[in-house]
Amino acid sequence: MQSNSRRAQSSVEYSIIYSLGVVVTILAIVVLWQMEVFTPATPAKGNAGFSQFEIMDHTAYLNSSRLVLVVRNDANNDIKLTRVDANIEGIYCYNSSPLIMNPGMKIIADMKCSDLVDEYQKGSYYRANVTITYTNLETGNIHYSRGMVWGGVE
């Protein structure tokens, strides 16, 4: 009979240890979740594809529904920036305030967007196709600089 009681005791001890392990694991997951360890980080900002301009910085603002670009004139002569347009997956953004830019000059293109609140949350990843329309003041020709910006909505 003693053999059966040892098996029963061993079975109970195994069950208790296994149950304690499950409880500790669940508690660890809850603590890590509360510390927001599982929340993804805001995506890194980036841009690509622009000619004659460098995008120094950019941000999409959720509450004011704006896309703001800091643009530097990398052309070797004066230009007239006539329009900046962006498309964030069907959300249209624009700024049509003409401005003369000397070589190396930086401006802030503050574009109003149709509505970011309906499609995005704070921290969401966005990618915008941007077109900068400008006139080369030396030649009088109209040009387009196209590229893309991406990052996390603020």
User: What digits encode the pLDDT tens for the residues 83-112?
Assistant: 999 999 899 999 988 999 999 999 999 999
pLDDT at 107: 94
- Cα dist. 114→16, 62, 117, 120 in Å? 59, 11, 9, 12
pLDDT at 40: 65
pLDDT at 41: 67
pLDDT at 66: 93
Beta strands 106-113 and 53-61 are unpaired
SS3 breakdown of the chain: % helix, strand, coil, rounded to 5?
Answer: 20, 45, 35
Q: Which residues in the chain come in under a pLDDT of 70? A: 1-3, 40-43
**Phi–psi pair at 30, nearest 5 degrees:** -65, -45
Nearest alpha carbon to residue 93 among 56, 120, 54 = 120
pLDDT at 12: 83
Nearest alpha carbon to residue 79 among 22, 117, 119, 133 = 133
How many angstroms separate the CA atoms of 99 and 106, rounded? 11
Nearest alpha carbon to residue 49 among 152, 151, 149, 143 = 149
